[in-house]
């Protein structure tokens, strides 16, 4: 559980990896949405979502397209 205490400073979607399945949107609708092009996008309100929810959403992505970064700017290994 230690990793969930880390501050998430940035959330990205790898558009080349995203398959638009929407699991991130289901788990964190305040953080993610599906674009008109059919892939996930990060909403401006993602900072209002707790770290555990963001980690769950990232881990749920079957293609690994959700990328989280810690306070130091390091990619968080899921």
**Token pair recorded at residue 76:** 């968080």
pLDDT, one tens digit for every residue, the chain (78 residues): 344 455 899 999 999 999 999 999 999 999 999 999 999 999 999 999 999 999 999 999 999 999 999 999 999 998
Q: The domain spanning residue 16 has which CATH number?
A: 3.30.70.20
Range of the domain at 32: 2-69
pTM score, whole prediction: 0.88
Query: Coil, helix or strand for 66?
Result: strand
With respect to residue 78, please indicate whether it lies within any of the assigned structural domains: no
pLDDT, residue 78, reads 85
> How many angstroms separate the Cα of 6 from the Cα of each of 13, 55, 70?
19, 11, 6
Q: Bridge partners of 42? A: 32
Domain count for the chain: 1
Domain-located, residue 74 = no
């Amino acid at each position: 559980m230690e990793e969930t205490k880390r501050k998430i400073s940035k959330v990205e979607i790898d558009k080349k990896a995203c398959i638009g399945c929407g699991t991130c949107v289901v788990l964190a609708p305040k953080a993610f949405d599906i674009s008109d092009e059919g892939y996930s996008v990060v909403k401006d309100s993602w900072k209002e979502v707790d770290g555990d929810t963001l980690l769950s959403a990232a881990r749920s992505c079957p293609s690994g397209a959700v990328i989280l970064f810690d306070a130091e700017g390091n990619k968080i290994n899921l």
